[in-house]
Structures are given as structure tokens and as C-alpha cells.
Chain A
Amino acid sequence: NAGVTQTPKFRILKIGQSMTLQCTQDMNHNYMYWYRQDPGMGLKLIYYSVGAGITDKGEVPNGYNVSRSTTEDFPLRLELAAPSQTSVYFCASSYQGEITEAFFGQGTRLTVV
């Protein structure tokens, strides 16, 4: 059972470039989340989704876009990368209908230069 899988693990982007961080889960969880974690800081919620076709903004959505066409996949799109987006990005998922813990991917370390 793979759980939550994020790709890539590391990436360096130039200012103004775009990229998509991939996230997939095989636990049939309806809830999925994207967080960013700046060095020495906590996790800030970027976007989340409560099911296929439904997405909502979190605390820090500017500069990002998401889509949720299937239950399994929740990609995060960075358009026009900026140095302020240098961070570690975590994808997570949790079970619907009950308040249960979120399962996290291993994270993507992104550097924008």
C-alpha cells in the first residue's frame, strides 16, 4: 500500500518558470490537502479538496492552482515561480465523513532561483 505519493522529491526552478507538483493517493480518501512549510516554520495550507471536482482555498493560495479531476490525484500548479515560493511542499489526504488523521506524502523540496 503506497499511501500518499508525491513527485518530484526535489526541484530547482528559475524565476518565472512553471511546474506541477504531483500527488496521488491509493487509500480512496476524499479529502486532500496541499501545505507548504518554510524553513523552521509550521505548515501553511495552500488548497484543499473534499472530493473530485471540488477545491477550496486555504491560508496561502496566491501563486498556486489546483485541480481534482479524480479521487486519487490532486496536482498543485505553480505559475510564474517566485523566490518566495521556495519551500517544502506536502500533500496529504484523509478519510471522509469522520474526523481522522491526515496521511502525508514525503514532501517536495522546491527552490526557486
Chain B
Amino acid sequence: AQKITQTQPGMFVQEKEAVTLDCTYDTSDPSYGLFWYKQPSSGEMIFLIYQGSYDQQNATEGRYSLNFQKARKSANLVISASQLGDSAMYFCAMREGNSDNDMRFGAGTRLTVKP
């Protein structure tokens, strides 16, 4: 069964600095996708970025980038130029392509951006 691990319960970052949120995963399926979601205090789940297992380049979306290290099975989210509005819970998730069709989430990291 697939497994997602986020080892940082909480992180702090100074406004305008970059921060890396860690995510490791475990799967034997060669085809899979990795996702990051943001959950602000209002509770909704906001999709941020996606990385496919066969993608050759790291995914980027604006200030978000994904540091994908396939051999290490890690998919860390990098947020550049942090803003106060980035304060939220961040979840890493994975969906396998050839076996299970469900999407599993990590425990999350609470990011606080300090002014």
C-alpha cells in the first residue's frame, strides 16, 4: 500500500524568504503522481502543484516548485518569497497509476509566515 510521510508538523519562515516542506513517499508502482495542497484556516483544499513519476523536470507553478528526487522517493515543496497569506496547512498526496486508484494524503505541515 502506498504511504506518504510528512515529518514536519510545523514550520516557521520569515516573510519574503524561501521555505521547503518535506514529503517522502513509498510505492512499488512505477506510474504515480504527487500532489501538494494548501488548506488555509477557512478549511478549503486548494491544489498547488503536480509532479508525475515520468516527468523529467521538476514542476513549477509561480512561487511553488517541487524538488522531485525519484531515487530518494521525495517530493519536497519549495515556496519562494513567502507571503503572509502562505500561512496554512500543506498536504502532500499521491495517487498510483497502475494499481490502487485512490489518493492518499500525508499528515500535513503547518506553515507560519512571520512578518
- Which residues of A come within 8 Å of B, CB atoms? 31, 33, 35, 41-45, 48, 50, 56, 58-59, 88, 90, 92, 94, 99-104, 106-107
> Whole-angstrom distance between the alpha carbons of A50 and B104 in the complex?
15
> Whole-angstrom distance between the alpha carbons of A107 and B39 in the complex?
12
Interface SS of chain A: strand
Decide: A33 and B107 in contact? CB cutoff 8 A: no
Decide: B106 and A42 in contact? CB cutoff 8 A: yes
- Which residues of B come within 8 Å of A, CB atoms? 6, 31-33, 35, 37, 43-45, 47, 50, 52, 91, 93, 95, 97, 101-108
Nearest-CB distance from A71 to chain B (Å)? 15
Q: Give the number of A-B contacts (CB < 8 Å).
A: 57
- Contacting residues, chain B, for A99 (C-beta < 8 A): 31-33, 52, 95, 97
Decide: A101 and B47 in contact? CB cutoff 8 A: yes
Q: Given A99-B31, A100-B50 in contact, is the A107-B44 Cβ separation under 8 Å?
A: yes
Q: Find the residue from B43, B52, B103, B107 having the highest chain A CB count within 10 A.
A: B103
Interface SS of chain B: strand
Decide: A48 and B101 in contact? CB cutoff 8 A: yes
> Whole-angstrom distance between the alpha carbons of A104 and B42 in the complex?
14
> Whole-angstrom distance between the alpha carbons of A100 and B95 in the complex?
9
Q: In this complex, what residue of B is CB-closest to A41?
A: B107
